[in-house]
Amino acid sequence: MGGFRQDVEAAVPALRRYARALTRDAELADDLVQDTLVRALRSEHLFHGGDVRSWLYTILTNLNRNRLRALARRPTMTAIDDNDAPDLAGPEAGGRDIERALASLVEDQRTALLLVVLEGLTYREVAEVQGVPIGTVMSRLSRARVQVKDYLDGKRPALRRVK
């Protein structure tokens, strides 16, 4: 039991990182992490071994998907924390670009890309988190990478012109 809690606790920093990249909103991300942890603690007795970390990623991914569905149902709703920081120049601009490129992805592709690239999950683990066959993960990953490239390519000429 103690081991379970320790594993959950150890996963918090990575969950926060994943949630931040997934939502690109610090408050929203931490709310997702909190909901994930509360759910995990509540269903501790449901957990019969296996990888706690993957299980937490699964909960967070599902919660985020539900959040987006709920948002889609209510198009007029505005987020409280709309911290749309102004565009920055310099090294930060690159970070903004990748952020926007991620935002341009459909949810399942973004999830797959982030779980692989940022969280270091294997393709098999991502397949379990997303509840799909590995082939589907591969095609999501592949499409995500093409889309990110297309997005960044579309941006680059505009940036070059500034020079």
Partner 1 sequence: MIDRNSPVTTDELHAYVDGVLPADRRTAVEAWLATHPEDAAHVAEWRAQAIAIRARYGAVAQEPTPERFELDRLARTGRGWRAIAAAAIAAALIGGVAGWLAHGASAAAPSGLEQFTSEALSAHKLYTAEVRHPIEVRAGEEHLLPWLSRRVGTTLRAPDLESYSLKLLGGRLLPGPNGPAALFMYETPAGERYTFYCSRSKAERTALRYSAAGAAGAVLWVESDIGYVVSGPAERSRLFDIAQTAYEQLESRAPTRSSENQIISRRGS
**In the bound complex, what is the minimum distance in angstroms from residue 4's beta carbon to partner 1?**
10
Of all helices (H) and strands (E), which one includes residue 50? none
**In the bound complex, what is the minimum distance in angstroms from residue 93's beta carbon to partner 1?**
11
Q: Which is nearer to partner 1, 68 or 162 (CB)?
A: 68
State the burial class of residue 82 (Cβ atoms within 10 Å of its Cβ: 0-12, 13-18, 19+).
exposed
Q: In this structure, are residues 78 and 3 in contact, taking their beta carbons and an 8 Å threshold?
A: no
Site residues, partner 1 (CB under 8 A): 5, 8-9, 12-14, 16-17, 20-21, 27-28, 30-35, 37-39, 41-43, 45-46, 58-59, 62-63, 65-67, 69-71, 74, 77-81, 94-95, 97-99, 101-102, 113-114, 116-118, 122-123, 131, 138, 141-142, 145, 148-149, 152
**In the bound complex, what is the minimum distance in angstroms from residue 11's beta carbon to partner 1?**
10
DSSP, res 145: H
Sign of the alpha-carbon dihedral angle for 123, 124, 130, 134: positive
Q: Which is nearer to partner 1, 48 or 163 (CB)?
A: 48
- Residue 81 has φ and ψ, to the nearest 5°, of -105, 70
**In the bound complex, what is the minimum distance in angstroms from residue 161's beta carbon to partner 1?**
21
Which pair of tokens denotes residue 5?
């809690």
Cα separations in angstroms, 53 against 13, 59, 64, 119: 11, 10, 16, 10
Q: Which is nearer to partner 1, 51 or 65 (CB)?
A: 65
